[in-house]
Amino acid sequence: MFNIILFGPPGSGKGTQSEKLIETFGLKHLSTGDLLRSEISRETPLGMEAKSLMDKGQLVPDEVVVGMIHSALDANPEVKGFLFDGFPRTTAQSEALDKLLKLKNTAIGVVLALDVSEEELVKRLLNRGLTSGRSDDTNESVIRARIVEYKEKTTVVANHYAQFDKVVNIKGEGSVEEIFSNLCSEINNRMSII
Ligand code: ADP
């Protein structure tokens, strides 16, 4: 198995690039944001609890997202690998993920970190809010709160994987195709050395 974390702040293009990467490399896409929005649209108790936090731009509790990822890993035993998008977002989540993967005799192959300036992020998210139907994209103060959460809780996740020499930084500004091609080169490089 070859497992990838697509890492970066809100609005850095993880969703867009994930769609292209899963198709090219035959991976299973696991986006905690998508899983949570599916719980919200089905009006489950978990979804209702998550919605109030997501609407404020705050992270949902680690146990909730780790539980969702645990179930998704168990539900997909035959895949070539997973592409994690929006997860892990805290050190506790990265430690939990490493343990879950170890139980399946696998690990993270590479962390691809998309680098985008803060002003560009806000611009992209407000623009996405015009059409996405996502309430957390329409309000600039919620967008800024998500970026603060990212800086305070999520940037450390890259340090966690950097100790194992697994992080590659990729410029997340430029055309979608150009960024995609840089991501593909890094994946091919890493796949060839395992
Ligand atoms: P974005 O990356 O644009 O913020 P996501 O769809 O990844 O969008 O996440 C939307 C919201 O869902 C986050 O602001 C957060 O409230 C919640 N969320 C998603 N993934 C996680 C996670 N791994 N841990 C905690 N909260 C999460």
* Ligand 1 center–CA 105 separation, angstroms: 27
Does residue 27 lie in a domain region? yes
Token readout for 113 is 């970190």
- Total structural domains within the chain: 1
Start-to-end CA distance of the chain, whole Å, equals: 10
Q: Which atom of ligand 1 is nearest to the CA of 36?
A: 12
Q: Evaluate if residue 194 carries a pLDDT over 90.
A: no
Q: Is 184 a member of any domain?
A: no
Q: What is the pTM of this model?
A: 0.96
**Domain annotation covers residue 186:** no
Domain with 165 in it: what CATH number?
3.40.50.300
* Residue 182 forms part of a structural domain: no
32, 51, 122, best to mutate for ligand 1 pocket (most atoms within 8 Å of CB) = 32
* CA quadruple 179, 20, 160, 92: dihedral sign: positive
In a domain, 86, yes or no: yes
Pairwise CA distance, residues 19 & 133, whole Å:
19
Residue-wise pLDDT tens digits, 95-152:
999 999 999 999 999 999 999 999 999 999 999 999 998 989 999 999 999 999 999 9
Distance of CA 181 to the CA centre of its chain: 19
Give 192's pLDDT tier (boundaries 50, 70, 90): confident
CA distances from 23 to 42, 94, 157 (A): 27, 25, 26
What is the best residue among 59, 95, 123 to mutate for testing ligand 1's pocket, by most ligand atoms within 8 Å of CB? 59
Cα 17 to ligand 1 centre (Å): 16
pLDDT band at 86, cuts 50/70/90? Answer: very high
Whether 90 is covered by a domain: the verdict is yes
Domain assignment of residue 138, yes or no: yes
Round to whole Å and give the CA distance between 167 and 111. Answer: 5
Beta-bridge partner residues of 31: 85
Number of C-beta neighbours around residue 141 at 10 A = 8
Dist. CA 191–CA 107, nearest whole Å: 13
For residues 109 and 81, the answer to whether their CB atoms sit within 8 Å is yes
Domain span at 79: 3-176
Instruction: For residue 128, give the nearest of 11, 16, 45, 36 by alpha carbon.
Output: 11
DSSP H or E stretch at residue 115: strand 108-115
